[in-house]
Structure formats: C-alpha cells, structure tokens
Amino acid sequence: MNSYIAHMQRITSAKEIFNISKDQRNKGHKIGFVPTMGALHEGHLSLVRRSKSENDITICSIFVNPTQFNEVSDFQHYPRTLERDAELLESIECDYLFAPSASEVYPIPDQTVYDLGEVANVLEGEQRPGHFNGVASVVKRLFEMVIPHRGYFGLKDYQQYLVIKKLVENYDLDVEVIGCPIIRTQNGLAMSSRNTLLEEKQAQHALILNQHLAQAKKLIKDGEAPESVEEIIRSGLKTNGVDLEYFQIRKADDLSNPSSTDEPLIALVAARFGEVRLIDNMNLSLD
C-alpha cells in the first residue's frame, strides 16, 4: 500500500508535521497514525506495521504526556528511550517520527473537561481520576496536528480505545479509530512499556494475570455467571499474593454491567507488582 519515504524523517515541530500531512493529503495519500509514549516494544511495532499495510504514509508519535499521569513519580519514572525507539521505527520503515516537546503539544494549557460518557468513569476512570481527560486532551491535539485518516491503538488499553472512540464521536473528529490485538510475550505477559520496570521475580509473578483471565474465559464458557466468575478470579489472584486493584467482567461495547452471558463480554484487570502497575484484559466471547 505504502511507498516508504526512503529514510524515516524525525519531526519535532507541530507546524511542520501539519504541513507534511496536509501536503500528503493533497496528493491523495492516506495517512495512518500511531500515537505512543515511547519505550517501544513489539506491540507498538505491530501497530506501525498494520498502519503501513493500510495507508500510504505512516506517522508514529512519541510524547510522554504529563496530563494523563495521576502520580508525579509515575511520570518521572516512565521509561524514555527515544534513540532506541527511533532505530526500531527506522528498522520497520516508518515514514515519520513525530517527537514534540510539551510546549509544541500544549502551547497553552488545555483546560477543557471532555465529554467522554460513562465509559470514562468506571474501572481506570475510578482508579485514576482525570486520567482519561488527559488522554482525550493529548489525542485530540495530536489528531489536530497530524490530521490522519486512521489512528491505531493497542487493545491492551481496551478502555482507552473505547474512550478515544467516544472522543472522536462526540467531537466529530474525522479519524477512523482502529483497535489492534494485544501482543504477548511467549509466556503470555501482555507487552507494555512498564514491563521494563519489573524485576525478574515480578515479571514471573505477573504471568498470573493472563492465566486467570484465561480461567475466567473457560468458566464463562462452562456457563458460570459473571458475578460468580469475578469472585472466583479475585479470590484466586489474592490467594496468589497479587496486589489487586480490580478484576471485573463488563459488556465489551461500553463497559456497562452485563445482564447475561449471551452478549459480548470482556474481563479487565489491574494490579501492582511492586511499584509497577499493570493492566490486562481478555475478550470472553465463546469462540
């Protein structure tokens, strides 16, 4: 689909990336966009590859967005590996790396309180007040700068994906939001930039999340009620020493509480391993 631009270009200016995108649009080219906070791994690279297969031009942004962190220490400790990230993107022929400063993204502070619906208030919304408002702020701003046709988001952050779809719908943004499958390590851990902060024992312990999600899927398949499955899995995680924030089964389309097992369901979990907070999820559809 795409014709690689010979050598990946690194852009830091909002005005410059806007002009590049506008020029590409004027040529009739489709633009795919992968917004990230860096510390790239195979999950991110899978999004870039997907974009390359479906668009003429692919832009990946790296910006550690301060407005979506609830804890200052979390923001400060978030891994930053820009040069390594750039090499990875170059290796898979990404066309543009957009790595702006905070002043480029937010020339003036965004005080908007975004209308994101109930999907932004549950789960992560409860645990991290204001988080999704920060996500909405940066994604809307990036969309305005990059003006893509399609935006690609990993489904590990499933609730974020639904929130961004709601943002696009409520603010009439002309971007197709595409969710891409979770990429896991060989032993089942969902790939995350935060995994690099885990000690070896913590990384081994974290495998329990995927194992219990798979158990939840089996229990639903065997006809157990969602409330019963939640109790079983929470108990199992806590018995195994997991510092659990939540494990919940919700309707996959809007994260409301399920009324039956006949509708598409998703199980979502958040837990801490030492200082590192991980999230994961699994579609419970009876495939």
Total of domains in the chain = 2
Residue pair 233/220 in contact (Cβ under 8 Å)? The answer is no
Predicted pLDDT at 255: 98
> Same domain, yes or no, for 172 and 136?
yes
Predicted pLDDT at 286: 63
Q: Which of 44, 149, 205, 212 is catalytic?
A: 44
Helical H segments across the chain, by residue range: 14-26, 42-54, 72-77, 82-91, 102-105, 124-127, 131-146, 158-170, 200-221, 226-239
Which of 130, 149, 180 is at the close of a domain? 180
> Same domain, yes or no, for 136 and 233?
no
> Same domain, yes or no, for 156 and 226?
no
Per-10-residue mean pLDDT of the chain, 287 residues long, equals 74 98 98 96 97 98 91 84 96 98 94 97 96 96 98 98 98 98 97 94 98 97 95 98 98 94 93 96 85
CA dihedral (159, 284, 212, 188) positive or negative = negative
Three-state DSSP class for residue 187: coil
Predicted pLDDT at 185: 96
Rounded Cα gap, residues 131 and 129, in angstroms: 6
> Same domain, yes or no, for 164 and 238?
no
> Same domain, yes or no, for 259 and 157?
no
> Same domain, yes or no, for 107 and 166?
yes
Q: What residues does 266 pair with on adjacent strands?
A: 250, 283
Which of 180, 207, 227 is at the close of a domain? 180
Is 44 one of the catalytic residues? Answer: yes
